[in-house]
Structure 1
Amino acid sequence: MKTILITDDDQHVRFLVKELLNKEGFQTVEAANGSEALELMKNESLDLAIIDIMMPYIDGYRLTEEIRKYSEIPIIMLTSKSQLEDKEKGFLLGTDDYLVKPFEPKELLFRINALLRRYGKSEEKNLRLGSLLINKKSYEIELEGKIYILPLKEFELLHFLASQPNQVFSRGQIIEHIWGLDYEGDERTVDVHIKRLRERFTKVSNEFSIKTVRGIGYSLEYRQ
C-alpha cells in the first residue's frame, strides 16, 4: 500500500484529501505545517507528498527544498497561488507537479497515479556509457567508482541525454520529455538543471560532457 503525506495548515483540506485517498486505497499521514512534515519523514516511509505553499513555520517552498536534500519522492504542490512565477519557483526547487485550489478530486488522483507510475518504472534497463552507469532501479549514478544520488529531474535529464549520446535535443523536446506537455514554466528550467549536472560531473570525468548547441539545445557528448 502506497503512503502519501498530506501537508496543509487547513484542516478541512487535509480531511478532504485524506478521505479521497483512503477511498482509493492509499494510506495517508498528515502534517499541519512544514516542521511537522519534516519530523514525520524521519519515521515514515513515504511514496509521495502533497504540499501546500502558504503554511506557518516552514512554507511549501522551503519544505520542498529540505525534502530534496535527502529524498526523491514525488511532490505535488497543492496551492491557491496560480501565478506563473510561483509555479516556476516550485519546479526549480524540485516539485514534480502543481495543482491550484480549488481542484477537482479526480484530477488530483490522475496526477498522483501518473507520478507513481513514473517513479515506479524500475523495470527499465540500466544505461551504461563507459564508466558511467545510470541505475534505473535505485536511481543512482555510478561514475569512476563513486555513487551519486541526484534529484529526480536531474537524474531523468541525464538519463534522457545519455540514452542518445551525441544527439541534439531542443529545450522544448527536453521539457516535453522530462516535465510533460502541461508544464507552464519557461525554458530557463532546462538551463538551470543542465548547469547543475555540469557542476556535478565536469571535474569528475572527461568521458562525457553536456554541450550547448547554440540556437538549438543540448547534447551529451560521449568520447569512446
Structure 2
Amino acid sequence: MRILIVEDEPKMASYLRKGLMEASFAVDISNDGNDGLFLALHEDYDLIVLDVMLPGLDGFEILKRLREKKRTPVLLLTARDAVEDKVAGLESGADDYLAKPFVYSEFLARIRAVLRRPTQSVDTVLRVGDMEIDLARRRVHRGSVRIDLTAQEFTLLKLLAERKGEVVTRAIVTSHVWDMNFDSDTNVVEVAVRRLRAKIDNPFEKKLLHTVRGMGYVMEDRP
C-alpha cells in the first residue's frame, strides 16, 4: 500500500517514513502544502498523512480541495489539540485526527484502522463509452461482448479508466501496474498497452484508448 506524508518537519517526516516502510508500506514525502496537494491529486495513494500547519497551503485547505476530487483516506496530524480544530478537520472530510506529540504505536494503529474501513462513495463499475468495467467481478464488456483480460491487463485498464480523460504518463503506469520504476529505454509499457489495445479496441470500430505523443495515454470516448 502507498502512503503520502505531507509534513514540513523533516525529522518527523523521516521518522514516520522509516516506521511505515518497516511496516511494509511504500511512502512518499512532501514538505510543502502546494506540492502535497499536487501529489495527492495526481498520484494514487491508499492513505494520506496530512499535517495541518504547512508552508504554502495549510492542511485544512489541502483537505478541502482534495475532497472536491477524491476520497483518499486522510489522517490529520497537528500540534493543535483544540476541540474546534478536531471538529473542523473531521467536518472537512478527514478520516481521523491525531494530535502531536503522539506515540508511534498509536499512529500506526490508527493508520491500520482507517485502512480497514470500507471505502466510501467508490463506484464498483467504471464506464468509458460502451465499455463497462466491473471492479468487483473483474469483468469487462464492450456492449454485449465480454473481454477476457489477464490480471496485469485488468490493472492497467482500471488505472486508465479511473483517470478517464486524463493523460496517464509512462511513469505512473509503471509505478501503479508493476509498483516499480523501469529503465526509460525499455518498452514494457508500450508492449502492455499494445496488448490491452488489441483486446479492448482493435476488434471494435470506436477506439477508446489513445496515445498522446510524447506524454502518455488517455482513455476517453472521443466524438
TM score, norm. by length of structure 1: 0.53
Structure 2 Cα separation of the partners of residues 92 and 118 of structure 1: 18
What displacement does 1:96 show? 0.8
**1:25-104 map, 5 Å:** 25-104=24-103
% of aligned pairs identical?
33
Contact 2:8 2:31 in 1 (8 A): yes
Identify which of 119, 123, 129 aligns with 1:138: 123
Contact 1:51 1:78 in 2 (8 A): yes
The change in CA–CA distance for 1:17 and 1:98 in structure 2 (over 3 A counts) is same
For 2:112, the equivalent position in structure 1 comes to: 113
For 2:14, the equivalent position in structure 1 comes to: 15
Structure 1 Cα separation of the partners of residues 124 and 53 of structure 2: 31
Which amino acid is 1:22 matched to?
M
Moved beyond 4 Å, runs of 4+? none
SS of corresponding position for 1:119: coil
Structure 1 Cα separation of the partners of residues 47 and 89 of structure 2: 16
Which amino acid is 2:91 matched to?
L
SS of corresponding position for 1:102: coil
For 2:4, the equivalent position in structure 1 comes to: 5
Structure 1 Cα separation of the partners of residues 96 and 65 of structure 2: 17
What displacement does 1:110 show? 0.7
**1:167-178 map, 5 Å:** none
For 1:219, the equivalent position in structure 2 comes to: none
SS of corresponding position for 1:78: strand
SS of corresponding position for 2:117: helix
Structure 1 Cα separation of the partners of residues 41 and 80 of structure 2: 28
Which amino acid is 2:19 matched to?
L
Contact 2:32 2:57 in 1 (8 A): yes
Which amino acid is 1:19 matched to?
K
Structure 2 Cα separation of the partners of residues 109 and 39 of structure 1: 25
Structure 2 Cα separation of the partners of residues 81 and 116 of structure 1: 24
Contact 1:74 1:119 in 2 (8 A): no
Structure 2 Cα separation of the partners of residues 89 and 23 of structure 1: 32
What displacement does 1:92 show? 1.0
Which amino acid is 1:61 matched to?
F
Structure 2 Cα separation of the partners of residues 98 and 139 of structure 1: 28
Deviations 1:95-144 (A, max 9, x none): 01000111111101111111111036xxxxxxxxxxxxxx976379xxxx
Structure 2 Cα separation of the partners of residues 26 and 100 of structure 1: 22
What displacement does 1:42 show? 4.1
TM score, norm. by length of structure 2: 0.53
Q: Aligned-pair RMSD on alpha carbons?
A: 1.8
For 1:165, the equivalent position in structure 2 comes to: none
Structure 1 Cα separation of the partners of residues 49 and 12 of structure 2: 11
